[in-house]
Chains A and B, each alone.
Chain A
Amino acid sequence: MDINYILTGMLTGFGVLVFAFVWQTSLSGITRKVVGRFHKRYGPKWYQEFRDIFKAMSKRGITHGWVYDFGVMMALGGIMATVMFMPVVTFVAFGQLDNFFIYVYLFAVGMLGMAMSAVGSGNPLAGIGVMRALTQMVGYEVPFMVIVLAIIFRDGTSSLSGIAAIQQTGGILTWNLVKMPIGTIVGFICLLGMLGKKPFETFIAPAEIASGPMVEYGGKQLGMLMIMHQFATFIEISLFINLFLGGATNIVFFIIKYMIIYILASLISQAFGRFKIDQVIKYFYRWPIVLAILQAGLVVWGRIG
């Protein structure tokens, strides 16, 4: 194994990491302002999210034992590793190795770490929140992966930058948005579930279970989980852009597509109430999965799209 290859990859990955943090955190602030205007409020400054994170990081908080701290580090570490594999325009840490399944399962390390830390805090509300998050995950992951199965089957590659490159060959007409419209709709619904936007906000539910998994956190642990949340959002939206919206040929297009998707998801979130967890599962196993199998069938058996 070549040491230079790994070091270059790490450096590129670190670059993607810094970009992801700065961009997603700023955009979160901008989105808070946009949402504020929709509520006829003034809204916070665009750098409000940075303030929140730095404030939390500098406070002296509490700890509930070593698994509480270790889980937070495992969560942030796993999610950061996933971000470092993410292709952003032409920056890919390890070309060819950006396999779709890595994102799904390396992401799960982070989720497992967070769940472990939250339940390790000993608060029953955190336990309920984690149970809901896992249950919801069973809901949205299956339709999403069935759609991606269709894409990988058609393109013959599971490399994310490869899938994006195939879509860039013929302008907007070769995007999966145009070629697989049903799949894109299902993907977007699953994206709302991943992001935890309303109506799929059941596992956070601030007024009902006191923010669920986050209930016991404060200080640097909360700050690290806030950073993790920004990275997780970055992974989910970048996945959607690379899978359905043709990736991006330069950074401007990437930023524009990213902004549209994130602000759209946040605005849709404002129009809905919160589902109960039973309703979330029933919803995902009623329409998205049927449409996902239909779309995959069209691609695999009908060779359409």
Chain B
Amino acid sequence: MSELGGLIHRMPITYLVYLIAIISMAGIPPMAGFISKWMIFQSMVGKGMIFVATAAFFGSIGSFLYVFRPLSAVFLGQLSTKHKKLKEAPVLMIIPMIILSLATVLYGVVPNMVLKIFSGIETSIGMKGLQLAGTQISGTNGILDPTIIAIMFGFGFVIALVLFLIHPKSRKVELMDTYTASEFIWTPELLHYASNFYAPFERLYENAPDTEKWYGALIKKIEELGQFVSYSLFSYKPSTIIFYIMTMLIGLLVWGGVLWI
């Protein structure tokens, strides 16, 4: 990932698809991911599951971190010289990407289209179904209306767009021409901050016990045991194999006989 960067200038559609995907993954409205997150949080908070909820909140905020890193390292920033000739993904790939993104947005804005079916299944097997009314979803302690959230977000965006358009037009400046505290840098790779992105966060647990090492050691021990077994017992001679099979069958017969008596 640290060798990429600036792909937005070559692959804008892929970038937009990725943006929609991460907004949904991080559980931000108006995408489909928010609906499921809201429902999970509703029931966790309603039941007062403190420790599970703490972990879930940490995971949900932490997801902003891990979805943002590829966005910034792969798509934003300066385009490396060796990637100058890159092209947008082929059309056959773009079509499914766009269809899936539209589905994400659609189910985020009008989730009741699918939730109606789930609610029907729940009632048919005797559970209490989801409480749906029009575009609203009722949880244990609140009502959510994703359509209104989407409309208000659109309204906010339009106000921002109007504010942007009525003010003086900006001058286009290249990405290499940024504030560097009077340092002269001509290599795009040096200006793009992509490697070791969350170093401060990783420093927090660098002294924590490493489970990976423990599992590695376990794997090695099991391998040694297997080697010992195959070395001491396995043989390519047919007679030995037949001897083992006969021993096993006799053993089974005796064991079975003990059981039958």
Contacts and interface: CB of A to CB of B under 8 A. Distances in A.
Nearest to B163: A224
B76 A64 contact: no
B152 A81 contact: yes
A63 B28 contact: no
B28 A142 contact: no
A7 B133 CA distance: 20
B170 A61 contact: yes
Interface stretch (A97-105, A174-182, A238-246, A257-265): A97-105
Contact of B173 (A64, A137, A145, A276): A64
Contact of A10 (B77, B134, B152, B170): B152
Interface string A3-15: 0001001100100
Contacts of B11: none
A124 B192 contact: yes
Nearest to B173: A62
Q: Is the interface of B mostly helix, strand, loop or mixed?
A: helix
Given A67-B8, A105-B34, A146-B53, A81 B65 contact: no
Interface residues of A, number: 92
A231 B57 CA distance: 24
Given A135-B198, A278-B204, A157 B50 contact: no
Contacts of B8: 65, 67, 120
B57 to A, nearest CB: 4
A271 interface: no
Given A210-B179, A210-B181, A77 B71 contact: no
A59 to B, nearest CB: 7
B164 A220 contact: yes
Interface string B134-176: 1100010111110111011101111111011001111111111
B104 to A, nearest CB: 15
A35 interface: no
A79 B172 CA distance: 26
Contacts of A149: 44-45, 48, 50, 53
Given A6-B148, A77-B157, A65 B9 contact: yes
A76 B160 contact: yes
Given A81-B153, A84-B155, A128-B193, A112 B173 contact: no
Instruction: Identify which of A146, A150, A158 gathers the most chain B CB atoms within 10 Å of its CB.
Output: A158
Nearest to B54: A146
Interface in B161-218: 161, 163-164, 167-176, 178-181, 191-193, 197-198, 200-201, 203-204
B171 A61 contact: yes
A157 B211 CA distance: 41
B35 to A, nearest CB: 11
Given A13-B155, A63-B172, 6 more contacts: A76-B160, A80-B155, A112-B28, A135-B201, A150-B48, A219-B170
Interface of A: 1, 6, 9-10, 13, 57-65, 67, 69, 72-74, 76-81, 84-85, 93-94, 96-97, 99-102, 105-106, 108-109, 111-112, 115-116, 119-125, 127-128, 130-132, 134-135, 137-138, 141-142, 145-146, 149-150, 152-153, 155-159, 210, 215-216, 219-221, 223-224, 227, 276-278, 281-282, 289, 293, 296-297, 300-301
Interface of B: 6, 8-9, 15, 19, 23, 26-29, 34, 37-38, 41-42, 44-46, 48, 50-51, 53-54, 57-58, 61-62, 64-65, 68, 71-72, 76-78, 134-135, 139, 141-145, 147-149, 151-153, 155-161, 163-164, 167-176, 178-181, 191-193, 197-198, 200-201, 203-204
